[in-house]
Amino acid sequence: MATMRAAVYTTFSGPIIVQEVPKPTAPVGGLLLRVKACGVCRSDYHGWKGLDSDIVTHGLPFTPGHELSGVVVKLGLGTTKFQVGDRVAVPFILSCGSCRQCARNRPTICEAQGQPGFTMPGGFAEFVAVPRADRNVSLMPPKVSFLQAAALGCRLTTAYRAVMQQGRLQSGETVGVFGCGGLGLSAVMIALAAGDNVRVLAVDTSEEACNKALELGAWHAFNAKEGDEYIRARVAEVTGGFGADLTLDTAGFAATCENAVWCTRRGGRPWEPKSLAEVSDEKPEQYTVCL
């Protein structure tokens, strides 16, 4: 049997060991990918700790990794959009295309989604079997590197949904990003690219993360190690007591969530029936998007 190297854990919170495992084959409707890059996400940590029900259901041993890009090495039966040698990026949610949510064009909440690195072996391996390729996998433009593409499938798409679709950031607005890891820094970049005169207030406990946010163009970066009151006072100070128009909790801690709410200005978005219809089940009136 052909084998490959993969990073595997056999107990939750246990050692992650690179070892030889059976090499997967190209699934029907999918493709076999030689992995070129795979990001590390906090969800990988949660999964490794045993906190992800999909990984628990899948069972151990397990190979994580859901932010991947690579080269197509084999096509499964019925896959039509790709050729061997194509450079591709894989989203971490492989939607089915036939459930009620997919019919509503909401593939990221597909009722029968597959997820490399959660419901099936992931990208910390030489090869990954990717089902449902025609529907979910994207060809990479030549100028995009594998490393860049690996960041697109989870952190950047999650941040995009928060900033643009849920948050509906407008030109001239101020957005507070609470947590500047991969997700938060993606939100910083998207916010700054999204409109004219958007100002980003970045918050993190890491000086390095704060500096990275500033490097990307954040207006101010505040170190949360100074305490909640400091963060709230500084946001109030730089916004003239108004608060940020939109705040994002991109870390998922009680402190980031509470500070985000505290630092949001009074008032609401203009009523937008069309947008509301599109996101009607996701409380579009709320300003704070807790991810």
The least distance separating Zn ion from the CB of residue 176, rounded to whole angstroms, comes to 22
Region of 97 on the Ramachandran plot (φ > 0 left; ψ -120 to 50 alpha; else beta): left
261 is an interface residue for Zn ion by CB under 5 A = no
Task: State which residue, 42 or 269, has the beta carbon closest to Zn ion.
Answer: 42
Q: Which of 90, 154, 187, 248 binds Zn ion (CB under 5 A)?
A: 154
Is residue 43 a contact residue for Zn ion (CB under 5 A)? yes
Q: Provide, rounded to whole angstroms, the least separation between the CB of residue 104 and Zn ion.
A: 10
Q: Smallest distance, Å, CB 41 to Zn ion?
A: 3
| Sheet strand arrangement including 174-178 | 220-223, 199-204, 174-178, 246-249, 289-290
- The rounded distance, in Å, linking the Cα atoms of 275 and 166 is 9
CB atoms < 10 A from the CB of 227, how many? 11
User: Considering beta carbons, is residue 157 or 205 the nearer one to Zn ion?
Assistant: 157
Q: Closer to Zn ion at the Cβ: 113 or 174?
A: 113
Per the document, the length of the chain is 291
Name residues contacting Zn ion, limited to 13-42 (CB under 5 A): 41
Q: Which stretch binds Zn ion (CB under 5 A): 88-96, 143-151, 221-229, 275-283?
A: 88-96
Question: Which stretch in 108-116, 163-171, 195-203, 220-228 sits in contact with Zn ion by CB under 5 A?
Answer: 108-116
Nearest CB to Zn ion, comparing residues 115 and 259: 115
Considering the rule CB under 5 A, would residue 68 count as an interface residue with Zn ion?
no
Q: Which of 4, 16, 71, 99 binds Zn ion (CB under 5 A)?
A: 99
When binding is defined by CB under 5 A, the residue of 16, 73, 96, 279 that contacts Zn ion is 96
DSSP of 182-238: HHHHHHHHHHHHHSTT-EEEEEES-HHHHHHHHHHT-SEEEEGGG-HHHHHHHHHHH
User: If binding is defined by CB under 5 A, does position 109 make contact with Zn ion?
Assistant: no
Least separation in angstroms between CB 172 and Zn ion: 31
Query: Which of 74, 51, 55 is closest to 8 using CA atoms?
Result: 55
Return the sign of the alpha-carbon dihedral for residues 214, 218, 220, 221.
negative
Relative to beta strand 3-9, strand 31-39 is unpaired
Query: Under the criterion CB under 5 A, does residue 194 sit at the interface with Zn ion?
Result: no
| Helix, strand, coil % over all residues of the chain, rounded to 5 | 35, 25, 45
Using the rule CB under 5 A, is 156 a contact of Zn ion? Answer: no
**3-class secondary structure, 128:** strand
**Window contacting Zn ion (CB under 5 A); options: 91-99, 203-211, 222-230, 241-249:** 91-99
Q: Which residues are bridge partners to 290 per DSSP?
A: 249
With CB atoms as reference, the residue minimizing the distance to Zn ion is 41
Using the minimum distance from each CB to Zn ion, give the nearer residue, 65 or 243: 65
DSSP 30: S
The letter for the amino acid at 22 is P
Q: Which of 8, 38, 94, 110 binds Zn ion (CB under 5 A)?
A: 110
The secondary structure element, H or E, covering residue 129 is: strand 127-130
Minimum distance of Zn ion from residue 158's CB (angstroms) = 7
Residues in contact with Zn ion by CB under 5 A are 41, 43, 95-96, 99, 102, 110, 154
